[in-house]
Amino acid sequence: MVEGIIFILKGIILTEVFTHAARVWGIFESPRSFLKVRSSFLRGLLDCFDCTSVWVAFFTVSYLLYFEWPLFTYALIFHWFARFSHTLYDLLDAHRAVKEKEV
């Protein structure tokens, strides 16, 4: 039961990380540009977050079931939490700045 919940949570976080990587990370800019020029289907796929995440979820499940490398998995999960906490901090800081201007 607990293993199933952990599998699902890892899958959700990794799907988001892999989708974000495929669509945004600069290191993938060249392959992304190449694919977008070659295929209108792939262009549409990469331009739509939901579309990309569906196909990335298939990759993520395969990765977790057949060839998971725990060091890589947990590094990506830690990255996701760090990015999430940084975004939350930025939002709180912006909110504080707005409140200070109102006073």
Q: How far apart are CA 22 and CA 11, in angstroms?
A: 16
**C-alpha dist (Å) from residue 99 to 41, 63, 87:** 46, 45, 18
Q: Of 8, 16, 19, which Cα lies nearest the Cα of 80?
A: 16
Q: What percent of the chain has pLDDT over 90?
A: 50
Average pLDDT taken over every residue of the chain = 90
Summarize the confidence of residues 38-51 as an average pLDDT: 84
The per-residue pLDDT for 100 is 82
Model-wide pTM > 0.85: no
Q: How many other C-beta atoms lie within 10 A of the C-beta of residue 78?
A: 11
21 against 66, higher pLDDT: 66
Q: How far apart are CA 19 and CA 55, in angstroms?
A: 9
33 against 17, higher pLDDT: 17
pLDDT confidence bin for 4, thresholds 50/70/90: very high
Would the pLDDT of 103 be above 80? no
